Amino acid sequence: MPGPLTETDLPEFWRNADAASQSGQKWTLRYERLRLGGSIVAALGAAFSLPVGRVDLAASVILLGFMVALIAELAAWAHKPAERWYDGRALAESAKTLAWRYAVGADPFPVSLDQSAAKDLLRERLAKIAEEASERVTVTAPGPLVTSGMQALRDAPFHARRDAYLNGRTKDQQSWYATKADDNRKHATGWRIALVSAEVVALVLASLRAVGGWRVDLAGLMAALIAAGAAWVGVKQFSPLAAAYSMAAMELAIQTDKLESVPEQDWPSVVADAEEAISREHTMWLASRTGKRPKV
């Protein structure tokens, strides 16, 4: 009896989109770290003076910091890794939900639908979602849209499809969302504490300088640190992600309860509802970053 779909059972279409998304995310965050780090280094150089003969080494530090920030900004603009990240994830998530819908006989691919018609519909849906991302996500190794694992699960009895979907999709995804919600909530709290602490330190240093108890002007450096921290929190979106993941985990818990007792005739529509709960999280994520919505 076939088990749940694994990553090797998903179409090559999904693998290419996922690889593009992972690469885009890595380079987006790398460029952002370099840009923010360069700004902090420049602010650090501006806070001190290190004269060596006729040259002030601190000015060289400022120059280096701004050069790093500029190069990172230009590289991000030229390579557009953020677009690969967003479009790749949109394509990967849409391909994954379509693969699961097909494999377990959910709408719009109920097992009552002729196999040839079901494959044609799957091909049509994938082509539709790939259209907008074609410039940034390339299928390098074409493979079947319907893998042997997908077809074996689709051909299995209802109870096998139900168990595979519950264990391999809804319960697994619900656990992932719950864990991610907790992680992002902790990160949001940690960064909030760090930013407030930095602001308190900046206030103390500014007060000491105002009364003449501190000679070094660190206002620019502290401002750069606080601004960089706030920008990083904005990129990572810890609080919005925690809220979105919590909502998705709750919705999937409800859908899982329904799926455990759903009769076979209602199966296609109830699975579609569960997939919609997963898609809503991704839709919120994509819209918050690009203003776009994925096409499924």
The full length of the chain comes to 296
Instruction: Tell whether 177 is covered by a domain.
Output: yes
Rounded distance, CA 273 to CA 251, Å?
10
- The answer as to whether 2 is a domain residue is no
Cis omega (within 30 of 0) on the bond before 108? Answer: yes
Provide the domain limits for residue 186. Answer: 7-290
- CA dihedral over 167, 170, 175, 180, signed as positive or negative: positive
Nearest 5°: CA angle at 33, between 28 and 37?
Answer: 155
Residue 219 lies in a domain: yes
Q: Kindly report, residue by residue over 34-57, the tens digit of the pLDDT.
A: 999 999 999 998 888 777 777 778
Cα separation of 29 and 76, whole Å? Answer: 10
How much is the pLDDT for 281? Answer: 81
Residue 1 maps to a domain? no
Residue 179 — left, alpha, or beta (φ > 0 → left; ψ -120 to 50 → alpha)?
Answer: alpha
Q: Which residues contact 127 (CB under 8 A, 6 or more apart)?
A: none
CA atoms 100, 105, 110, 111: torsion sign: positive
The domain tally of the chain equals: 1
User: Is 40 within a domain?
Assistant: yes
Pick from 64, 79, 103, 65: nearest CA to 31: 79
Q: Which two tokens stand for residue 136?
A: 């940034």
Quick check: is 296 in a domain? no
Query: Which stretches of the chain score pLDDT less than 70?
Result: 1, 132-142, 213-214, 290-296
C-alpha count within 13 angstroms, C-beta hemisphere, residue 211: 6
* pLDDT tens per residue, range 98-148: 999 999 999 999 999 999 999 999 989 988 877 766 666 666 656 788 999
